[in-house]
Amino acid sequence: NSVPTLTQNDGHTIPQLGFGVFKVDPDETTRIVSDALEVGYRHIDTAAIYGNEAGVGTALAESTIAREDLFITTKLWNDRQGTQSAFDAFDESLEKLGLDYVDLYLIHWPAPANGRYVESWKALEKIRESGRARSIGVSNFLVPHLEALITDTEIVPAVNQIELHPAHQQLEVTRFARERGINIEAWGPLGQGKYPLFDEQVVADAAEAHGKSPAQVVIRWHLQTGNILFPKSNRRERMAENFDVFDFELTHTQVAMISALERAGRVSAHPNDVN
């Protein structure tokens, strides 16, 4: 009944279930991350743009959990893409987190209109060489963006973190990534509450069949389809609910029926439109 780990293409492991802090108020972040650590989460996903890395850092500093048992991700924001600007942004993130390394550092968006994501990736390669990011990856990359990195740079990203939930499974980029050993991290795994995912009959029926909640069913669907995810909640009861998913398994039919909810239903921005 513990969190499974996946192996990255660089040999490091990553806990498949974590806790995300997008839209967590900086003033509340320490309390919320401390609650998440107490509930049992060891993988925390933050970003410079969330403005709450310092709050995450305080929670980590206050906890007695050994550093090697934690998995911490942060991300380079779009306006810091480049070479020196990326090095500086990374230093600032480490400082705010109070860490001497992160487990995973991501380019947050490709921002293709700015034309700097390949250059930024080369900066991340240097950061990985320095040992201060154990793994490096990308976020919101579509197939052409991944192709550009693979053609022009040395390291294949460890992960691609993309919007992914039953109505929007990004099958093309997901297949492309997995064929190249790139793990998929699903952001907005519960659809960010933006469509009635929990009311879908197949989700509700599976929840009833297993005596679990619809959110737990959707989290199992992610785990059983190989995604890494870090659902977010400010509420401790829901943090615990979202973590209590290792005492049941969906059947192949239940997984397939939830996968059949695909309808290209993106609920957030298109990667080419975020700069």
Annotated binding-site residue numbers for substrate: 108
Closer to ligand NAD by Cβ: residue 236 or 238 = 238
Distance in angstroms between the alpha carbons of the first and the last residue of the chain: 41
Closer to ligand NAD by Cβ: residue 252 or 265 = 265
* Site membership for ligand NAD, residue 196 (CB under 6 A): no
* Site membership for ligand NAD, residue 110 (CB under 6 A): no
* Site membership for ligand NAD, residue 212 (CB under 6 A): no
Determine which residue in the list 15, 232, 257, 258 makes contact with ligand NAD, applying CB under 6 A.
232
Tell me the C-alpha distance between 239 and 243, whole Å.
Answer: 6
Q: For residue 230, give the nearest of 192, 189, 170 by alpha carbon.
A: 189
Give CA separation, 6 vs 131, 204, 255, in Å.
Answer: 20, 28, 20
* Site membership for ligand NAD, residue 137 (CB under 6 A): no
- Order of strands across the sheet that contains 159-163: 19-20, 43-45, 71-76, 102-107, 133-139, 159-163, 183-187, 228-229
* Site membership for ligand NAD, residue 29 (CB under 6 A): no
Closer to ligand NAD by Cβ: residue 46 or 58 = 46
Report the interface residues with ligand NAD, using CB under 6 A. Answer: 20-22, 45, 108, 139-140, 161, 187-193, 215, 230-233, 238, 241-242
